[in-house]
């Protein structure tokens, strides 16, 4: 099938590559910007496992072709796939208004962008107005982006679930056909109205964020009650009504899409006349949690931090990502700077983004080696749980640090083992 994918988001690239891999002829329309420049050079703008190789493979096979936003779909094209950034609603409308309307075959428009609830129905209206003199009966469906960075390609090709918002039977069937190569183990597509699919996407994100903030509150309470939150987490997860997912306390969540989806849901509640008290509190808890390691460091040194050196392992908002959008590391670094602390950072992928964010500063030093970052440090803070940090050389670490203090923002280390190796240890609700 011939189809046109619009966008330079991770979702757009994953969708285009995956759909091309199942035999479709895919034209990927890219807006001007850094992502397009890299793709034209044969580079992938996202460090997503397997994505660069799959895109290169499909490009070489001729099934994935790059195009500009202004180029129009060919006569053989049947599907318009929108995977745009959340602030590009007007661009989506312009794309639909530019579609050839003098054709007998109907357009299927798949909206995978995270737009406000009701946008797919609004796009349907735009399409109907554009085709006022045609009888093609084109349809817009909602297929919300449920991908998670670091597992996006696998999440598309072996999805646990899809949310399909469709009001037209033929459009629903055509989407099922597009997803059939990735939907063979069991039927993972749930069909509902378009605005229900859009709202479900936001509601899922809100629930996950609520679980994370709740566990962070419980971890902070565990500190004052002298109990180990890890025992509590295991006990809660064993209850089938609760389950284990998103019960891991830490130093706050980040990520552009995750945080923006929560704020979008809160905004939707407020616009509807309802108070978003729970989500507002979830966001406040998360922002406070981003400074939890700083507060532990502050208390340990009796508020005397000026002139000290602190190492941070992990700046990306999550492992396997090069992005620092709303990362807890940013707020933590700013708090340390405010106290006159020299900050040394290591991250496997996010150093370039961190350098762009911080600019030239004498109190920020970036390292390509984690132990070099810890050299002479008065404390080491683990912020992003990269696998490379899980089993450090503790003897080497103790010898190179000025003071053996570890602050574990993701509870990846065993407190007893760390203390037995001569370190002072602080986790999130751990003892």
Q: Write the DSSP string, 384-426.
A: S--GGGSS--HHHHHHHSSS-EEEETT--S-HHHHHHTT-EEE
Query: Encoding tokens for residue 83?
Result: 């995977």
Q: Say yes or no: 280 and 335 in one domain.
A: no
**Would you state the pLDDT for residue 235?**
97
Q: Which of 169, 192, 215 is the last residue of a domain?
A: 192
The DSSP annotation for 78-89 comes to EEEEE---TT-H
**Would you state the pLDDT for residue 416?**
96
C-alpha–C-alpha distance, residues 322 and 149, integer Å:
10
Residue 298 lies in a domain: yes
| 3-state class (DSSP) for residue 309 | strand
Element (H, E) at 141: strand 139-142
C-alpha–C-alpha distance, residues 253 and 27, integer Å:
35
Give the structural domain span for 254: 200-288
Q: Where are the alpha helices (DSSP H) in 131-251?
A: 152-157, 169-179, 194-225, 229-238
Long-range interactions of 129-133: CB distance < 8 A, separation 24+ = 130/96, 130/97, 130/99, 130/101, 131/101, 133/101
Q: Which of 235, 263, 288 is the last residue of a domain?
A: 288
Q: Say yes or no: 217 and 316 in one domain.
A: no
Q: Say yes or no: 219 and 108 in one domain.
A: no
**Would you state the pLDDT for residue 103?**
74
Q: pTM for this one?
A: 0.85
Q: Say yes or no: 364 and 392 in one domain.
A: yes
Residue 431 lies in a domain: no
CATH code of the domain containing 133: 3.40.50.720
Which of 396, 390, 397, 392 shows the shortest CA–CA distance to 411?
390
Q: Say yes or no: 186 and 249 in one domain.
A: no
* Full pLDDT tens readout for the chain, 431 residues: 999 999 999 999 999 999 999 999 999 999 999 899 999 999 999 888 899 999 999 999 999 999 999 898 988 899 999 999 988 999 999 999 999 877 778 999 999 999 989 999 999 999 999 887 656 689 999 999 998 888 899 999 999 999 999 999 999 999 999 999 998 777 889 999 999 999 999 999 899 999 999 999 999 999 999 999 999 999 999 999 999 999 999 999 887 777 778 777 777 776 666 667 888 888 889 999 999 999 999 999 999 999 999 999 999 999 988 889 899 999 999 999 999 999 999 999 999 999 999 999 999 999 999 999 999 999 999 999 999 999 999 999 999 999 999 999 999 999 999 999 999 999 999 97
Q: Say yes or no: 347 and 279 in one domain.
A: no
**Would you state the pLDDT for residue 13?**
97
**Would you state the pLDDT for residue 267?**
74
Q: Say yes or no: 284 and 294 in one domain.
A: no
**Would you state the pLDDT for residue 309?**
98
- Count the domains in the chain: 3
Report residue 46: phi and psi, to 5°.
Answer: -120, 135
Q: Say yes or no: 103 and 229 in one domain.
A: no
Residue 314 lies in a domain: yes
**Would you state the pLDDT for residue 136?**
66
**Would you state the pLDDT for residue 258?**
75
C-alpha–C-alpha distance, residues 347 and 368, integer Å:
7
| 3-state class (DSSP) for residue 39 | helix
Residue 49 lies in a domain: yes
The C-alpha angle 253, 329, 33, rounded to 5 degrees, equals 85
Q: Say yes or no: 175 and 51 in one domain.
A: yes
Q: Say yes or no: 148 and 7 in one domain.
A: yes
Report residue 360: phi and psi, to 5°.
Answer: -80, 115
**Would you state the pLDDT for residue 300?**
96
Which of 164, 143, 115 shows the shortest CA–CA distance to 264?
115
- The DSSP call for residue 390 is S
| Residue whose token pair is 């390509």 | 368
Q: Which of 256, 288, 320 is the last residue of a domain?
A: 288
Residue 264 lies in a domain: yes
CATH code of the domain containing 272: 1.10.1040.10
Residue 102 lies in a domain: yes
**Would you state the pLDDT for residue 78?**
92
Q: Say yes or no: 173 and 296 in one domain.
A: no
Residue 215 lies in a domain: yes
Q: Say yes or no: 96 and 34 in one domain.
A: yes
| 3-state class (DSSP) for residue 379 | strand
Q: Where are the alpha helices (DSSP H) in 180-327?
A: 194-225, 229-238, 256-271, 277-289, 292-300
Query: Encoding tokens for residue 178?
Result: 């597009």
C-alpha–C-alpha distance, residues 240 and 233, integer Å:
13
Q: How many CA atoms lie within 13 A of 230 on its CB side?
A: 11
C-alpha–C-alpha distance, residues 203 and 63, integer Å:
35
């Amino acid at each position: 099938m011939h189809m046109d994918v619009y966008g330079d988001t991770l979702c757009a690239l994953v969708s285009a590559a995956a759909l091309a891999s199942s035999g479709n002829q895919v034209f990927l329309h890219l807006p001007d910007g850094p992502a397009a420049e890299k793709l034209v050079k044969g580079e992938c703008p996202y460090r997503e496992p397997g994505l660069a190789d799959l895109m290169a493979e499909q490009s070489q096979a001729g099934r994935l072709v790059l195009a500009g936003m202004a180029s129009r779909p060919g006569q053989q094209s049947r599907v318009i796939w929108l995977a745009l950034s959340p602030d590009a609603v007007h661009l989506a409308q312009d794309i639909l208004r530019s579609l050839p309307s003098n054709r007998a075959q109907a357009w299927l428009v798949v909206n995978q962008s995270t737009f406000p609830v009701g946008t797919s129905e609004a796009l349907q209206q735009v399409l109907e107005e554009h085709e006022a003199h045609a009888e093609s009966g084109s349809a817009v469906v909602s297929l919300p982006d449920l991908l998670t960075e670091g597992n996006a390609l696998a999440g598309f090709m072996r999805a646990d679930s899809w949310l399909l918002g469709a009001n037209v039977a033929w459009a629903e069937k055509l989407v099922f056909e597009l997803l059939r190569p990735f939907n063979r183990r069991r039927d993972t597509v749930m069909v509902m109205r378009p605005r229900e699919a859009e709202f479900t996407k936001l509601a899922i994100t809100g629930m996950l964020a609520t679980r994370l903030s709740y566990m962070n509150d419980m971890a902070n309470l565990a500190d004052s009650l002298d109990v180990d939150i890890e025992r509590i987490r295991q006990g809660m997860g064993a209850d089938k009504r609760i389950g284990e997912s998103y019960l891991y306390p830490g130093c706050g969540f980040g990520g552009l899409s995750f945080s923006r989806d929560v704020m979008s849901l809160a905004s939707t509640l407020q616009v509807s006349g309802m108070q978003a008290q729970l989500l507002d509190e979830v966001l406040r808890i998360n922002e406070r949690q981003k400074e939890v390691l700083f507060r532990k460091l502050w208390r340990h040194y009796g508020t005397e931090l000026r002139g000290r050196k602190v190492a941070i392992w992990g700046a990306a908002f999550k492992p396997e990502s090069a992005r620092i959008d709303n990362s807890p590391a940013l707020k933590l670094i700013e708090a340390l700077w405010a106290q006159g602390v020299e900050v040394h950072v290591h991250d496997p992928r996010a150093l370039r983004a961190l350098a762009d964010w911080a600019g030239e500063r004498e109190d920020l030093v970036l390292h390509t080696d984690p132990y070099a970052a810890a050299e002479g440090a008065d404390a080491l803070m683990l912020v992003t749980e990269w696998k490379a940090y899980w089993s450090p050389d503790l003897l080497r670490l103790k010898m190179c640090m000025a003071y053996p203090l570890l602050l574990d923002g993701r509870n990846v280390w065993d407190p007893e083992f760390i203390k037995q190796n001569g370190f002072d240890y602080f986790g999130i609700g751990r003892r």
